[in-house]
């Protein structure tokens, strides 16, 4: 077996051992078409007050700007679909946030992957990214043959739906490349568009992020949520899974086997009243390793008060 094929197989073996469900590889190159689409989306103001999305535009569209000499973009998916369900009396929280913050969990695994590759292959350069860096991860997942981008903006796999975190490793290692995912299996289905509580999913596969409940409850830092969201939050305190819940492809979702994503009991069981009376000290103690620290105690209390006012 040639070194390129050996290295490719090694990467996919390590990724599987680290708990990634899928691993695909694409040749590193500028994403010209994606660049034009992103530029138009930003120009239309659909990112709302997420000004960070305007930064580092050149880095987002060209992996060689992130890793000089980049040859390959490795994309991996990690399942977070939970076994459990929230109590009907607790405010709704998107399933990705039920356990430990995925950034720290997956970054650790990416460091392990790169370290093992350097040990077994030699002096290679690479950088791992999880969601918080200027990488068009869904575009790379599609180019790596892992799935298609649905009408709801999520990457969807044909075998297991969309409850996955996307991790990216850009490296200067030349590898065998997977064929891009060629087909869109959403077809004429509009369930996500019809079900979105705030009409944030547009018919042309555009997501108006500035109208998304996840944007309101996590990204928006204003002291008050906008009046146009009144009565449309559908009980969501943090994030929103509506467009995934109604997606027919998620009937194939299987439970995550990553212990770090096991749900905190409080997320499954606390009533609205128990959330409202929680002290900031207890909040920080219980959720210190949770994505709920993103909006923080004040943001969560703001969201709860808005939900209560909408009742």
Mean pLDDT, rounded, of the chain: 93
Rounded to whole angstroms, the Cα distance separating 97 from 154 reads 16
Q: Give yes or no for a contact between 81 and 95, defined as CB atoms under 8 angstroms apart.
A: yes
Domain that holds residue 16: 1-178+185-311
What local confidence, expressed as pLDDT, does residue 40 receive?
83
Out of 25-29, 52-56, 137-141, 179-183, pick the least confident. 52-56
What local confidence, expressed as pLDDT, does residue 41 receive?
80
What local confidence, expressed as pLDDT, does residue 135 receive?
78
**Closest C-alpha among 10, 19, 12 to residue 257:** 19
What local confidence, expressed as pLDDT, does residue 50 receive?
74
In this predicted model, what pLDDT tens digit does every residue of 267-287 receive, in sequence order?
999 999 999 999 999 999 999
Out of 37-41, 71-75, 189-193, 254-258, pick the least confident. 37-41
The pTM assigned to this predicted structure is 0.94
Output the 3-class SS for 98-116: CCCCHHHHHHHHHHHHHHH
Q: Distance from first CA to last CA of the chain, Å, rounded?
A: 64
User: Can 131 be counted among the known catalytic residues?
Assistant: yes
What local confidence, expressed as pLDDT, does residue 4 receive?
95
Strand order from edge to edge, sheet including 22-27: 22-27, 72-79, 164-171, 126-129
Indicate which residue of 62, 131, 172, 234 is catalytic: 131
What local confidence, expressed as pLDDT, does residue 214 receive?
97
Domain count, the chain: 1
In this predicted model, what pLDDT tens digit does every residue of 80-94 receive, in sequence order?
999 999 999 999 999
pLDDT at 53 over 70: no
């Amino acid at each position: 077996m040639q070194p390129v094929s050996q290295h490719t197989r090694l990467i996919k073996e390590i990724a599987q051992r680290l708990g990634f469900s899928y691993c695909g590889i694409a040749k590193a190159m500028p994403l010209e078409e994606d660049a034009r689409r992103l530029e138009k989306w930003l120009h239309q103001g659909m990112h709302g007050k997420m000004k960070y999305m305007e930064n580092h535009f050149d880095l987002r569209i060209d992996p060689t700007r992130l890793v000089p000499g980049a040859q390959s973009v490795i994309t991996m998916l990690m399942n977070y679909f939970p076994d459990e369900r929230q109590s009907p009396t607790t405010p709704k929280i998107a399933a990705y946030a039920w356990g430990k913050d995925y950034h720290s969990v997956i970054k650790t695994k990416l460091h392990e992957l790169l370290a093992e590759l350097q040990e077994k292959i030699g002096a290679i350069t690479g950088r791992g990214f999880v969601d918080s860096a200027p990488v068009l991860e869904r575009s790379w997942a599609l180019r790596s043959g892992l799935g298609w981008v649905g009408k709801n903006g999520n990457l969807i796999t044909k075998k297991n739906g969309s409850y996955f975190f996307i991790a990216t490793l850009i490296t200067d290692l030349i590898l065998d490349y997977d064929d891009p995912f060629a087909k869109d299996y959403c077809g004429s289905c509009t369930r996500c568009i019809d079900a979105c509580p705030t009409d944030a999913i547009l018919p042309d596969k555009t997501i108006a992020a500035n109208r998304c409940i996840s944007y309101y409850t996590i990204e928006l830092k204003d002291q008050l949520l906008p009046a146009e969201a009144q009565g449309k939050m559908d009980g969501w305190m943090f994030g929103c899974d509506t467009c995934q819940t109604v997606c027919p492809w998620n009937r194939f979702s299987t439970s995550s086997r990553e212990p770090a994503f096991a749900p905190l009991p409080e997320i499954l069981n606390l009533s609205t009243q128990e959330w409202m009376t929680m002290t900031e000290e207890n909040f920080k103690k219980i959720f210190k390793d949770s994505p709920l620290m993103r909006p923080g105690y004040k943001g969560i209390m703001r969201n709860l008060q808005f939900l209560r006012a909408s009742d």
